């Protein structure tokens, strides 16, 4: 199997732990266990038996997750190792070589790359900057062929932080229904909407939808490695058959914590913290953009842990990122990893002091060199 290098992840894996200020993360600054759990919950964690458990996730946890959606039960859910595994299982369960997949781009690109590797034909529907990083759904019709099997979208979007207006979500569902297509949505950023109004889930809007989510981004717990897929029972069962090959099961300790975190009250507390951090940092970014508007511009994110910033300097985005890393010990992501030179991705979920320092260096670097 030939893989296109997943350069978004590769560059982070190589460098993110070697800099003073890592602004390449796309989530919200994580909790530690002591902050997250009560003394009683921590004590009970010591009793968790370290077996395999249910390889598709404990019925209790799957039921708790199902309750986040309308009319779903434990059989509509599989628990995975991060939303990354959920995305892989989704492709394995749903797509075959020769099928056509429409990917809304820019996008996290994991599904884009993995589907290509197994021989799926990938077509791209662009989010348009001039529309506020929303697609022109008129572009969709031209991408459809008799082999089109699925549309996949990352919503809220990585890397732009954009959201589809409710009417556009409905139009996308109507389009998929009209053409009898599967609709996959990676909703790992759902719940981080800066205005506090959580977007609906595509899982609640369409019978042929399959949705990825997890605890890593809006819920600020990437180290637990808990994600999930929610969808029709038959497709979820197929994903479970795939998991026999990928990882068998998720960690028993993480499942214990996850079942605390996805209870509505706790989930809302965590999301409130995420929104507080993101709103503070996006405010800082907005002030900085005003001061530096001759060099940088950005359609501010409406959700999610990152901003996609356009720059005016005459330098390739990968070169810019490597020079900032080497000369200033700051780590950003280049637009190149999305095939979009001229942009940098800046994590807005990092601690405020990191954002302040990072933005200071970025402007200073740009002024000193261009
Ligand atoms: C949109 C999206 N989906 C999935 C993932 C994978 O996340 P995890 O496996 O940590 O849940 C990421 C990570 O950046 C992401 O941005």
| Predicted confidence (pLDDT) at residue 74 exceeds the cutoff of 90 | yes
Q: pLDDT-derived band of residue 250, with 50, 70 and 90 as boundaries? A: very high
pLDDT of residue 336: 98
Which CATH topology does 47-264 take? 3.40.640
| Predicted confidence (pLDDT) at residue 189 exceeds the cutoff of 90 | yes
For the domain with range 7-32+267-365, which CATH number is right: 2.40.50.140, 3.90.580.10, 3.90.1150.10, 3.40.630.30? Answer: 3.90.1150.10
- What is the residue with the minimal CA distance to atom 1 of ligand 1? 108
Cβ–Cβ < 8 Å for 338, 306: no
Q: What is the distance in A from the centroid of ligand 1 to the CA of 170?
A: 25
82-108, pLDDT tens digit by residue?
A: 999 999 999 999 999 999 999 999 999
Nearest ligand 1 atom to the CA of 85 is 9
pLDDT-wise least confident of 16-25, 120-129, 168-177, 275-284? 16-25
Q: pLDDT-derived band of residue 203, with 50, 70 and 90 as boundaries? A: very high
- The model carries a pTM of 0.98
Mutate to test the pocket of ligand 1, among 6, 28, 160, 188 (most ligand atoms within 8 A of CB): 188
Q: Is 355 in the pocket of ligand 1 (CB under 6 A)?
A: no
Other Cβ atoms less than 10 A from the Cβ of 299: the count is: 17
Name the average pLDDT for the chain: 97
What are the sequence ranges of the domains in the chain? 7-32+267-365, 47-264
Q: Is 304 in the pocket of ligand 1 (CB under 6 A)?
A: no
Q: Is 192 in the pocket of ligand 1 (CB under 6 A)?
A: no
pLDDT, average across residues 342-356: 95
Mutate to test the pocket of ligand 1, among 16, 108, 187 (most ligand atoms within 8 A of CB): 108
pLDDT, average across residues 266-271: 98
Whose CA is closest to 165, among 203, 127, 139?
A: 127
Other Cβ atoms less than 10 A from the Cβ of 17: the count is: 9
pLDDT, average across residues 205-225: 98
Q: What is the distance in A from the centroid of ligand 1 to the CA of 255?
A: 18
Nearest ligand 1 atom to the CA of 9 is 14
pLDDT of residue 1: 86
CA angle at residue 45 from 60 to 73, to 5 degrees?
10
% residues pLDDT > 70 (the chain): 100
- What is the residue with the minimal CA distance to atom 6 of ligand 1? 84
Q: What is the distance in A from the centroid of ligand 1 to the CA of 188?
A: 7
- Point out which residues pair with 308 in neighbouring strands: 345
pLDDT of residue 167: 96
Q: What is the distance in A from the centroid of ligand 1 to the CA of 109?
A: 10
Nearest ligand 1 atom to the CA of 189 is 1
pLDDT of residue 265: 97
């Amino acid at each position: 199997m030939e893989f296109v290098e997943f350069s978004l992840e590769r560059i982070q894996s190589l460098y993110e732990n070697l800099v003073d200020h890592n602004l390449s993360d796309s989530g919200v600054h994580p909790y530690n266990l002591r902050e997250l759990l009560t003394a009683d919950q921590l004590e009970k964690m010591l009793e968790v038996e370290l077996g395999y458990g249910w390889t598709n996730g404990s019925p209790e946890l799957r039921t708790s997750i199902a309750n986040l959606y309308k009319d779903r039960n434990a059989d509509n859910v599989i628990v995975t190792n991060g939303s990354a595994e959920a995305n892989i299982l989704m492709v394995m369960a749903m797509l075959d070589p020769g099928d056509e997949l429409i990917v809304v781009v820019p996008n996290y690109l994991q599904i884009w790359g993995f589907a290509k590797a197994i021989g799926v034909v990938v077509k791209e529907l662009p989010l348009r900057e001039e529309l506020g990083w929303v697609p022109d759904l008129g572009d969709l019709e031209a991408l459809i062929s008799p082999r089109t099997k699925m549309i996949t979208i990352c919503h809220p979007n990585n890397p732009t932080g954009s959201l589809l207006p409710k009417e556009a979500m409905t139009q996308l569902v109507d389009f998929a229904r009209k053409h009898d297509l599967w609709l996959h949505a990676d909703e790992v950023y759902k719940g981080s909407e800066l205005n506090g109004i959580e977007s609906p889930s595509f899982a609640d809007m369409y019978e042929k939808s399959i949705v990825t989510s997890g605890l890593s981004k809006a819920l600020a717990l990437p180290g637990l490695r808990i994600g999930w897929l929610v969808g029709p029972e038959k497709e979820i069962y197929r994903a479970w058959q795939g998991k026999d090959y990928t990882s068998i099961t998720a960690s028993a300790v993480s499942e214990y914590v996850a079942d605390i975190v996805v209870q509505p009250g706790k989930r809302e507390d965590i999301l409130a913290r995420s929104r507080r951090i993101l709103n503070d940092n996006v405010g800082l970014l907005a002030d900085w953009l005003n001061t530096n508007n001759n060099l940088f511009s950005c359609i501010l994110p409406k959700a999610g842990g990152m901003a996609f910033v356009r720059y005016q300097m005459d330098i390739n985005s990968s070169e810019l990122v490597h020079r900032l890393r080497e000369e200033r010990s700051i780590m950003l992501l280049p637009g190149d990893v999305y095939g979009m030179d001229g942009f940098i991705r800046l994590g807005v979920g990092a601690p405020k002091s990191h954002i302040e320092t990072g933005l200071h260096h970025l402007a200073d670097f740009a002024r000193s060199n261009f």
